[in-house]
Structure 1
Amino acid sequence: MNKIKILLVDDEVNLRETICELLIYQNYTVKLACNGQEALNLLEHWTPDLIICDIMMPVMDGSTLHRIIKDIHSLNSIPFIFLTAKKENNIMRKCLLEGADDFIAKPFRIKELIAIIKSKVARFERIKNTQNHLYPGDNNFLLHEINTPLNGILGSIELLIENQQGLDKKEIATFYKSIKASGERLNRTMQNIILYQNLKNNFVEFNDNATAEIETTFLIAKEEIFKSYEGQEKRIDFEIETALIKISQEHVQFILFELIDNALKFSANNKVIIVSGQKFNESYYELVITDFGIGFSEEELNKIGAGQQFNREEREQQGLGLGLFLSKIIIKKSNGVFTIVSKENEGTTIKIFFPLHNPTILD
């Protein structure tokens, strides 16, 4: 049975450590943050079952953290308990009106805290059991992304059956190609949804000893990509310096495929994608993917998440928008750094800093 995961956010070191030890003794898994910004950084790649948070903190206070979380669909159902030394009724009322699940004034009894935790986690488990699915958005993009390739497969098969005698070999081959493309799109959508759920539930293992040769992995990913972009091989201009990085080849291949596919997809057919990679320093390898496509606004970049799509009616992109989101999470969980800069109608540049494998340092 998986342990219940708790995120504890408090700037008072002694209190934070004391509560942490008590919760670990009660068999909870606990991660700590000293302010709201540090908590948000953790939440990008780790999903707790409950958040306990102080109100008054430097950098980002508890109320601001709570408001931000409530705007993130994948996080807003997580129970949020406020801790504070302030006992004024207006503070408590304000927190509860803003949607907090409970409020505990310091000092408090550990039995009281444990009882509240058990109650709130039980409610969250019921929510997860009934709503444990990828959020498809207001326009039901999830249904669209499953039905579109499925209809392509079934429609092509039906036409093949109905016209067995009237189709020549070239026409039949065209239908087979269409079925294969639709099947691959559907498979990719489903695999990404499964990966999203596994990452969300912390089921994906990240081996600290895993390594990948970046140039070889890039060439494998490129070959896989051009199965869907036949005749467009010249659209990628690349120069990759060989290096051994500390991340599994499976994860690197996934990241490269998703990000380069996005760059191609959001660019006109006459636009070139530039991919470059080289050692940044003794600790990191820098990979840069640049396209000159439609780009994104600052507001859109801030909203990137699972299932997020932008101006679909104008852009007609395929996919749930999971690739970019999942790549970002995998990079962070592998102790890498991910940055993205984009301008509308100018293009997008993604920089990834992968940790380098250094054989002189014992893992």
Structure 2
Amino acid sequence: MKNKILFVDDDLNVRETITELLVYKDYDVRTASNGQVALEVLEYWIPDLILCDIIMPIMDGNVLHDIIKDNHSLSSIPFIFLSAKSENFLMRKCLLDGADDFLSKPFEIDELLKVIKTKIERFEKIKMAHNNLFSGNKKSFLHEINTPLNGILGFTNVLINNEVNLEDSEIQEVYECLKISAERLNRTMQNIIIYQNLKNNKLEFRVTSNSEILKIFLNVKEKLLHNYKNQKTRISFEVDTASIKINENYLHFILFELIDNAFKFSGNGKKIVIRGKCHSDEYYELIIKDFGIGFSEDELKKIGAGQQFNREQNEQQGLGLGLFLCKFIIKHTKGVFSIVSNINKGTSIKLFLPVNN
């Protein structure tokens, strides 16, 4: 499998020249003209190394590097600065800020290739040694595995030890609890598998995929209302039928994660509003809105794999993977994902999903 490099530089000639060289050396290369474009690429494509100019319009290299450092799923990617400015203080600042290397333009091609090879080899060793998203967040990881597992074992023991004494209604209630615990554990493991496949570039996105969104939505709604007892009146929905260019499993995953989040972060019986309709011949518009705790602008910028906010305060379940994976899948299927949120006022997620004509 080819190693992936993201090259960020506002000079078109430099981008084309370096890209041609790296492709010739059998690297998979994506380019961006500034930091903002680079962030858009990183939403659906995770490289093994980032080469970045410093002085660029819209968003320069330093700002991009700061954002990446604060993103749990991107912070370990080797980041190499390239700059026409070669002052020692600038190089020192970049390295002290956490960059992996600094090359002054013009640089020798052999030097660039050697640095790239060395940094990627080191990154591969790190990934092999810590091939788990949650190596730095073991407490949350173990909690999300042990809690449903202990539930399964505990309820199983209840059945084994009290089978004769339990009423039929009590046995049915235990079965329901067993199912909820098993589904929670299964969801956690499936999210981890999807993320690992994402990291290893093994997720498949077929252009011929199609899903009936109303059918998938009604299936998701039924499953969620089974988990959230007596909360049927919380959901207000109006979802038109349409054929979406996304695999059924992916669309089910997206709807389940986003609507489940709306439930989790808007308690006390607050409404969840879901609206879906064809926006144009090319896109279907889906809006999921809650009136819950909301997120700050700074928190929204840091959404990434494994990123959670105020877990203890909000009694938040999950590993912080769902929203990140939803964004990734939607971007990769040529859709558009946007989120607007305000503290204590709620969150509105808008999706534009490609349709089959």
Please tell me the TM-score bracket, short chain as reference.
Answer: over 0.9
Superposed displacement of residue 138, structure 1: 5.4
- 3-state SS in 2 of match to 1:227: helix
Change (3 A) 1:258 1:162: same
Superposed displacement of residue 230, structure 1: 4.1
Report if the CA contact (8 A) 2:72-2:304 is conserved.
no
Pairing 1:111-190 to 2, within 5 Å after superposition: 111-135=110-134, 140-190=139-189
CA distance in 1, matches of 2:91, 2:344: 47
- 3-state SS in 2 of match to 1:140: helix
Given the alignment of the two structures, is residue 208 of structure 1 paired with residue 207 of structure 2, yes or no? yes
CA distance in 2, matches of 1:296, 1:72: 16
- 3-state SS in 1 of match to 2:80: strand
Pairing 1:269-348 to 2, within 5 Å after superposition: 270-348=269-347
Report if the CA contact (8 A) 2:10-2:34 is conserved.
yes
Given the alignment of the two structures, is residue 16 of structure 1 paired with residue 1 of structure 2, yes or no? no
Please name the residue that 1:93 is paired with: 92
Superposed displacement of residue 47, structure 1: 0.9
CA distance in 2, matches of 1:69, 1:13: 23
Please name the residue that 2:227 is paired with: 228
Q: CA RMSD of the aligned region, Å?
A: 1.8
CA distance in 2, matches of 1:343, 1:139: 30
Report if the CA contact (8 A) 1:280-1:286 is conserved.
yes
Deviates more, 1:130-139 or 1:219-228: 130-139
CA distance in 2, matches of 1:209, 1:165: 54
CA distance in 1, matches of 2:210, 2:188: 26
Please name the residue that 1:361 is paired with: none
Report if the CA contact (8 A) 1:136-1:307 is conserved.
no
- 3-state SS in 1 of match to 2:280: coil
Amino acid at match of 1:265: K
Report if the CA contact (8 A) 1:46-1:200 is conserved.
no
Gaps of 5+ in 2: none
Superposed displacement of residue 253, structure 1: 1.4
Report if the CA contact (8 A) 1:10-1:57 is conserved.
yes
CA distance in 1, matches of 2:34, 2:97: 19
Report if the CA contact (8 A) 2:72-2:305 is conserved.
no
CA distance in 1, matches of 2:53, 2:103: 10
Report if the CA contact (8 A) 1:212-1:252 is conserved.
yes
Deviates more, 1:135-144 or 1:294-303: 135-144
CA distance in 2, matches of 1:313, 1:91: 40
Superposed displacement of residue 281, structure 1: 2.3
Report if the CA contact (8 A) 2:231-2:269 is conserved.
no
CA distance in 2, matches of 1:74, 1:340: 19
CA distance in 2, matches of 1:91, 1:267: 47
**Segments ≥4 residues shifted beyond 6 Å:** none
Superposed displacement of residue 181, structure 1: 0.9
Deviates more, 1:308-317 or 1:46-55: 308-317
Q: What are the superposed Cα offsets for residues 103-139 of structure 1, whole Å, 9 maximum, x if unpaired?
A: 2222222222111111111100011011121237658
Deviates more, 1:153-162 or 1:332-341: 153-162
Q: What are the superposed Cα offsets for residues 172-197 of structure 1, whole Å, 9 maximum, x if unpaired?
A: 22222211110110000110111112
CA distance in 1, matches of 2:315, 2:24: 52
Superposed displacement of residue 167, structure 1: 2.4
- 3-state SS in 2 of match to 1:197: helix
CA distance in 2, matches of 1:301, 1:180: 33
Change (3 A) 1:30 1:139: closer
Deviates more, 1:141-150 or 1:158-167: 158-167
Gaps of 5+ in 1: 359-363
Deviates more, 1:269-278 or 1:189-198: 269-278
Please name the residue that 1:25 is paired with: 24
Amino acid at match of 1:285: Y
Superposed displacement of residue 292, structure 1: 2.0
Given the alignment of the two structures, is residue 109 of structure 1 paired with residue 119 of structure 2, yes or no? no
